[in-house]
Amino acid sequence: MSKKFWEELPQGSVVLEAGSSAKFKTGSWRSMRPRWIEENCIQCMFCWMYCPDMSVKVTEEGKRADFDFEYCKGCGICALECPGKKGNKAIVMEGEGN
């Protein structure tokens, strides 16, 4: 983020640039990393819906793709919500250092 002087700030801290949150990469916050196990995935898209960021990528055909680790903060919500196939989760959380 550029370091502005107080005289240059936009009035009332309004952000005038649309979609600027894409510049805010939250991936560095992560200590846990979700792993996608494709064979257990039923394409329900719960993970995409529940992800608080924009870290579950979707293909042009609307299918679930892998994670976007530039944004994934490792919160684990996707893993918790994932129904998986026959009791086998399609997302598991693993320690970032492992």
Partner 1 sequence: MGKIVAVTGNEACALALRQINPDVCAAYPITPATDLMQRFSGYVNDGKVDTELILVESEHSAMSACIGAAAAGGRVATATSSQGLALMWEMLYIAAGTRLPIVMPLVNRALSAPLNIHGDHSDGMGARDTGWIQLYSENAQEAYDNTIMAFRIAEHLDVRLPIMVCMDGFIVSHSIERVEYVDDADVKNFVGKFEAVHPLLDLENPKSYGPLILTDLYHEYKRAQHEVMTKVPAVIETVSAEFAKMTGREYNLFEKYRLEDAEIAIVVMSSAAGTTKDIIDQYREKGVKIGLLKPRMFRPFPFTEIAEALKHVKAIAVLDRADSFGGMGPLYSEIAACVMQMDSKPAVTNKIFGLGGRDYLPDQAEYVIDELIEIAKSGKVKTVKEYIGVRE
Binding site for ligand SF4 (CB under 6 A): 34, 36, 41-47, 51, 53, 55-56, 64, 67, 72-78, 82-84, 90-91
Q: Is 28 in the site for partner 1 (CB under 8 A)?
A: no
Q: Give, as one character, the DSSP assignment of residue 75.
A: -
Tell me how far, at minimum, the Cβ of 19 lies from partner 1, in Å.
8
Residue 10 or 66: the one with the smaller Cβ distance to partner 1 is 10
Pairing of strands 64-67, 56-58: antiparallel
Tell me how far, at minimum, the Cβ of 24 lies from partner 1, in Å.
9
Q: Which two tokens stand for residue 14?
A: 């309004």
- Considering only residues 5 through 24, tell me which ones interact with partner 1, judged by CB under 8 A: 5-7, 9, 11-21
- Rg of the chain over CA atoms, in angstroms? 17
Q: How many residues bind partner 1 (CB under 8 A)?
A: 18
Tell me how far, at minimum, the Cβ of 20 lies from ligand SF4, in Å.
19
Nearest to 56 by CA among 40, 37, 69, 39: 69
Taking a C-beta distance cutoff of 8 angstroms, is the pair 41, 48 a contact? no
